[in-house]
Amino acid sequence: MQFPESWLRTLVNPSIGTDELSHRLTMAGLEVEEANPVAPEFSGVVVARIESVEPHPNADKLRVCRVDAGQGALLQIVCGAPNAAAGVKVPLATVGARLPGGMAIGIAKMRGVESSGMLCSARELGLSQDHAGLMLLADDAPVGASLREALLLDDTLFTLKLTPNRADCLSILGVAREVAALTGATLHEPVAAPVRPTLTEVLPVRVHAPDLCGRFAGRVMRGVNARAKSPDWLVQRLERCGQRSVTALVDISNYIMLLVGRPTHVFDLDRIGAQSLDVRWARPGESLALLNDQTITLESTMGVICSGDTPESLAGIMGGASTAVSLDTTNIYMEAAFWWPEAIAGRTRKLKISSEAAHRFERGVDFENGVAHLELMTRLIIDICGGEAGPIDDQIINLPQRAPVRLRLARCRKVLGIEVAQEQVAQVFRHLGLAFAQDGDDFIVTPPSYRFDIMIEEDLIEEVARIVGFESIPAVAPIARAIMRAHPESHRTAHTIRADMAALDYQEVVNFAFVDADWETEIAGCAAPIKLLNPIASQLAVMRSTLLTGLIANIRYNANRKQSRVRVFELGRVFMRDSSVADGPLTVAGVHQPQYLAGAAWGPVADEQWGQPAREVDFFDVKRDVESLYGVRASQLTFEAQSHSALHPGRSARILLAGQAIGWIGELHPRWVQAQDLSSAPVLFEVTLESLQSVSLPVVGELSRQPVVQRDLAVWVPAGVEVGAMLATIHAAIASDPTLAVVRQVRLFDVWRDPSAQSAQEKSLAFRLWLQDSDVTLDDARVDECIGRIRVALESAHQARPR
């Protein structure tokens, strides 16, 4: 919320400066996000009146002006502005003046004619970007007066960053109440004597939805002049609050909202067809053209004000175009209602519109003083636009019940950690305008109608802390025995896993959990992604079920910016439908939310260097990275060739750990490589975080002093046999046969296919085996026996034959 300090000080004027006022508001919970001067520094600029304008003798585009600056004698000023005319009042930078940016004004000759100063545009004074001509001032501006004083430029614009619970501070009056409570200064609330009705006319209003409208007040006025000019002081206050001046009637309505926090609406009475209004919930399929020229389709959860069966206004949000006031309006109906916050909240987001009124109503607006605010608005309209007023029709339908809240003094002291006197707490409540009764050491407080944030005891404790001052609460460190938390070595944290990925030359990224629906259905292969009710953007409409799509987008983004090598990873949650999941503190019914780790590598396997030739990263490079993440448990990993919608059909695999599926690895599908306009296919992997967090601890064993024997075993097998399956057979034979316990390691080191047509259905695989006994040196007979048993196991399981 933005407002000028000068307006605030008309309601409460404490004897403290701007900086101190800003600090106290911030420390009380009303954070002053910005405090900027209304105008930049300049001096020597006064209000002047142009008495005459003559052509310049030596220049077609310049003119010589005789100017009255209140100094007795007229000054001669050379000016080139097209709107310089006799009789207008404009800013004059006198000789010796300093303008924004340090520009100094002196006597100068312009094309042979002396100029004793400079007539200024708004941009030259830093007041706006308008430089089409001179800045024209009001006719009643005093000649010779300082421009800063005449336009009240020695002012500060405060911008407050309010929390959603402080709806009462979305007005000058609300902030003034806080300042009065913090400083003890006298609060002057804006009031107006009731306007005596000169008309008897009342517009009939029927409220059919008490859960929508709790109170409805309205008044008929006739004979108003909508073409009346809004006073300069009113326009200035609106502009300094970020509002533009529209017409006098609209300006007054906006002024009341900013002053007391009461959104109101003004109907053109002659455009209300049925000459009566109905307040109800909308019927599905009804439509309404709003003041912002947007036509919306209404739903049954949206409130409307109708004339007959025709919706004329979106209740608590925005008026309709058909009954809007214009410059030709002469008869009006003013409405000041209390709309229930629950009936307004979320509607603007659903309709994708913004509204100052809805911003206040969905947080809670004062429901007791609507009539007083309507009287204040009526007085302003009569003073500015004239007209006659009828009686106020005030209907009370269903107002909130303000349950008293009990504050225990002992509890307050315990929570704040300081000794607060009973009278000190009572004084805080008096300053805040909170009505209370005392029951021993307890305070029973009835929240006022404009405070929707006081509901429980802790709310009152917060009020005491704010007014007493958080700075007065000493910072005392807690006294407790420090106990070191032992971290189990068999469990890795997410932070440790991130560090391991960084050590493997990957960079961490954090992507949105919201993704494009097409990514989920086409790339991730999720037929029914979880949709968002209110997506922040159309391309972020569903929850992700995989991290891979985000990494693909990261690679494309970097490739478009001429990056030739990208290695990224992400650790985060994914979201999948699962009917077995129940509601809980960290779960949502029907949604499984596991954490995954995903990585992607694209481009050269290593940075460009002289030590090794350039080579594109491939499947096996990333497979090695995955295996290194699992450490000693890598021996339990298996990679089974399977297809995934995002991956290359012949270069992808399912990752299993001890027989359990934990993720995927493979090259990006050629279709998506082409769609993303990549020069080569990145290699991706994704595994569950849970599978990475369990760590097998090393087992200490005696080192053998016997020599290691190395033997090779080459066999022919059918071309369709997988190497992983053969390695699994060898390891199973070693585990089940005590004779093979001396086999320490097995590794594939060669694959060969005979190019002849006769052997095209077979391939040759060569394995290297390392054998070692812990007690004796292995002789050839024992080694041959071990190799023979492994060969027999392969022949039996995979139709292998010796090469």
Q: What is the pLDDT of residues 470-518, one digit of tens each?
A: 988 888 887 788 788 888 888 899 999 999 999 999 999 999 999 999 9
Report the distance separating Cα 623 and Cα 442, nearest Å. 68
Q: Is residue 467 within 8 Å of 428, Cβ to Cβ?
A: yes
Q: Is residue 776 within 8 Å of 730, Cβ to Cβ?
A: no
For residue 760, the model assigns a pLDDT of: 67
User: Phi, psi at residue 366, to the nearest 5°?
Assistant: -50, 125
Number of C-beta neighbours around residue 777 at 10 A: 11
Q: Check residue 431 and report its DSSP letter.
A: H
Give the confidence band of 534 by pLDDT, cuts at 50, 70, 90: confident
Strand intervals (E) in 261-357: 265-268, 277-281, 287-289, 295-297, 303-307, 310-314, 318-319, 331-339
What tens digit of pLDDT does each residue of 66-97 get? 999 999 899 999 999 999 999 999 999 999 99
Determine which helix (DSSP H) or strand (DSSP E) holds 531, and give its type and residue range. Answer: none
Give the confidence band of 608 by pLDDT, cuts at 50, 70, 90: confident
Q: Is residue 307 within 8 Å of 268, Cβ to Cβ?
A: no
- C-beta pairs of 579-584 under 8 Å, 24+ apart in sequence: none
CA angle 109, 110, 114 (to 5 degrees): 40
In the predicted model, is pLDDT for residue 130 greater than 90? no
Number of C-beta neighbours around residue 702 at 10 A: 6
Strand intervals (E) in 460-565: 507-508, 514-515, 542-543
Of all residues in the chain, the percent with pLDDT exceeding 70 is: 99
Residue position matching structure tokens 């030709």:
328
Q: Check residue 491 and report its DSSP letter.
A: B
* CA distances to 531, 635, 747 from 628, in Å: 37, 10, 16
User: pTM of the entire structure?
Assistant: 0.70
CA-nearest of 417, 461, 669, 636 to 552 is 669
User: Phi, psi at residue 64, to the nearest 5°?
Assistant: -105, 120
Q: Check residue 522 and report its DSSP letter.
A: I
Token pair of 567 as six digits: 């290695």
Q: Identify which of 120-134, 234-248, 473-487 has the greatest average pLDDT.
A: 234-248
Q: Is residue 339 within 8 Å of 212, Cβ to Cβ?
A: yes
Number of C-beta neighbours around residue 42 at 10 A: 24
Dihedral of the alpha carbons of 312, 234, 23, 190, in degrees to the nearest 10: -80
The amino acid occupying position 405 is: V
Determine which helix (DSSP H) or strand (DSSP E) holds 495, and give its type and residue range. Answer: helix 494-503
Give the confidence band of 35 by pLDDT, cuts at 50, 70, 90: very high
Instruction: Give the mean pLDDT of the chain.
Output: 93
What tens digit of pLDDT does each residue of 666-708 get? 999 999 999 999 999 999 999 999 999 988 877 887 888 899 9
In the predicted model, is pLDDT for residue 158 greater than 90? yes
Strand intervals (E) in 502-580: 507-508, 514-515, 542-543, 566-573, 576-577
For residue 535, the model assigns a pLDDT of: 87
Q: Is residue 264 within 8 Å of 254, Cβ to Cβ?
A: no
The amino acid occupying position 241 is: C
Contacts of 502 (CB under 8 A, 6+ apart): 508
Token pair of 34 as six digits: 């910005």
Mapped onto helix, strand or coil, the DSSP state of residue 628 is helix
* CA distances to 203, 280, 397, 400 from 210, in Å: 19, 9, 6, 11
Determine which helix (DSSP H) or strand (DSSP E) holds 725, and give its type and residue range. Answer: helix 723-736
What tens digit of pLDDT does each residue of 323-343 get? 999 999 999 999 999 999 999
Report the distance separating Cα 45 and Cα 144, nearest Å. 9
In the predicted model, is pLDDT for residue 758 greater than 80? no
